[in-house]
Amino acid sequence: MMGSINNLLKSPTTLLILSLIVWTTSPLVVEARVHHHKWEVKYQFKSPDCFQKLAVTINGMTPGPTIYARQGDTVVVEVKNSLFTENVAIHWHGIRQIGTPWSDGTEGVTQCPIVPGDTFTYKFVVDRAGTYIYHGHYGMQRSAGLNGMIIVSVPDGVTEPFSYDYDRSILLNDWWHKSTYEQAAGLNSVPFVWIGEPQSLLINGRGNFNCSLAGAGVCNATTPDCSPYVLTMVPGKTYRLRIASIASLSAFNFELEGHSMTIVEADGNYVEPFVVKNLNIYSGETYSVIVKADQDSSRNYWAALNVITRKPGTPTGLGIINYYLNSPKKSPPTDPPSGPIWNDTTYFLRQSQAIKARQGYVTPPPPTSDRVITLLNTQNKIDGRIKWAMNNMSFTLPDTPYLVSLKQRLHHVFNQKPAPETYDSKNFDVFGVAKNTNATSGNSIYRLKFNSTVDIILQNVNTMTVNNSETHPWHLHGHDFWVLGYGIGKFDPMNDPKKYNLVDPIMKNTVPLHRYGWTALRFRADNPGVWAFHCHIEAHFFMGMGVVFEEGVAKVGRLPSSIMGCGETKRFLRH
């Protein structure tokens, strides 16, 4: 008898089943699997890069507290809005919200904004281990400081396909000294006013602005707020670094001086391991890399964060890899890595293409799709304002959240005409200044057949400036997608699909669209709800760079009243 139990216990699958039984039968353990958080969102003066600025904080912190949970747990976050006059909404980036589309936190899509004084409760299951993020999804609050990480561990008894001694998280960001209000007002101005490149790059909320350049502001180079991030490593030990980018604008290259990294996870999915000297990471992406403390332990090393794909106007963000027993304050004796050449698209493309699903963990994509939506990404001028448009439509959010209007059949609150499916590919020169001067703003969406398979072809082009194209990290809510392929130039619908990786494509929720390139994605429309798909550069989404998908909204359960209060939802008030 004992022997057979022992045999049973040796099988990981059985262990998982056993532990599930324990979870569902023991009240003590079941209770422990609901993680309750009370957050207060408020303004506070912060000096993350030594320069004092008003930031949106959670319980006084930016980045906010990290959420830890195990796969299958329920996370409950009560968000109290203590901003003075400003609303808020928080998105749980990478969490698919299966069965809880109203908890996606996307203002205008899944909920009305949370007004000051109100408390909104987000409740969702973290159904897969991995590295995720959360952030404001309203105006530009993400860049104002409202962001943080979600770490979901594997269930007890399940082992990951890689090993490490220590688990560390690194959140990357860019940072401006002007308020996001000023940035937003500039983006919306005629003529356009650009806030300029970020003043600092932040590693875990710490940067290093040169206070002698601060002008009239309050800058204190010795405040502990801006002491550099230190990653202490014990010689010989192996580290899992969970690296996420919440950048407002920048694409990053992250390098640990003298240390190679083995990429093992991307957006919560296991990656067939491969080694890189440095990691290109786009806003909204998360990675796990394995790093071994195998270098000369008598010194420290730089952790270096550099801007790529835009001409950098920001100094390298610096942290310290501190080999235990050196002082963490000991400066590395070398110059910090300066990263790859900013416009080496071939290099960036190559790393993107190298990311494949890990053997043994491949979920193969459906071999064909039911629908192909091509999205031409252009920069346009509409009514004198600079906008971004997909197939000539620049996206604007309606005043009533789509989830409510679709579920309650309020057909008048947004344009019922389907959003444009493609563009005039034949006559479009992707390398020349775009001539599509007839773009308009609109709030049309894509309604997808439930459980159908959808391909998205993202097509990049030249902006309104000669010889300029920008990288766009596209993020899909409510799903992972398979990354079928990348290319440079105009997508060829006849030949490029033949080169799709249908064998072991990585699944992700955020993917770069490289300069002048295309990216092909596939996903199953199997999650009842309404989901945003947008460029994760906050200013770009603000300027219209997004679309919305509806699928199976009739299957969505009764909507909570808490997501209402704005726009046409007031028609449900009976007093």
Q: Which is nearer to a copy of itself, 81 or 204 (CB)?
A: 81
Q: Which is nearer to a copy of itself, 376 or 403 (CB)?
A: 403
- Shortest reach from residue 50's CB to a copy of itself, in Å: 16
Q: Residue 365 is encoded by which pair of tokens?
A: 């994509």
- Shortest reach from residue 398's CB to a copy of itself, in Å: 8
Q: Which is nearer to a copy of itself, 417 or 574 (CB)?
A: 574
- Shortest reach from residue 524's CB to a copy of itself, in Å: 29
- Shortest reach from residue 216's CB to a copy of itself, in Å: 3
Burial of 216 (0-12, 13-18, 19+ CB in 10 A): exposed
Which residue is associated with the tokens 């963990």?
Answer: 361
Q: CA 392, 394, 399, 405 torsion: positive or negative?
A: positive
d(CA 334, CA 318): 13
Q: What angle do CA 367, 369, 375 make, to 5 degrees?
A: 130
Beta strands in 367-452 (DSSP E): 371-382, 385-390, 393-395, 440-442, 446-448
Q: Which is nearer to a copy of itself, 219 or 513 (CB)?
A: 219
Helix 12-25 × helix 2-10 angle, to 10°: 100
14 three-state secondary structure: helix
Residues of this chain that bind a copy of itself (CB under 8 A) = 43-45, 54, 84-88, 108, 112-113, 115-118, 138-141, 179, 181-182, 184-186, 188-189, 193, 214-217, 397-399, 404, 408, 559, 561-562, 564-567, 569-575
Q: Which is nearer to a copy of itself, 61 or 234 (CB)?
A: 61
Q: Which is nearer to a copy of itself, 311 or 574 (CB)?
A: 574
Under 8 Å between Cβ of 279 and 289 = yes
Q: Which is nearer to a copy of itself, 146 or 289 (CB)?
A: 146
Burial of 422 (0-12, 13-18, 19+ CB in 10 A): middle
Q: Which is nearer to a copy of itself, 215 or 224 (CB)?
A: 215
First to last CA, the chain: 66
Under 8 Å between Cβ of 444 and 415 = yes
- Shortest reach from residue 43's CB to a copy of itself, in Å: 5
- Shortest reach from residue 115's CB to a copy of itself, in Å: 5
CA distances to 218, 229, 281 from 176, rounded to whole Å, are 14, 19, 20
- Shortest reach from residue 68's CB to a copy of itself, in Å: 29
- Shortest reach from residue 206's CB to a copy of itself, in Å: 21
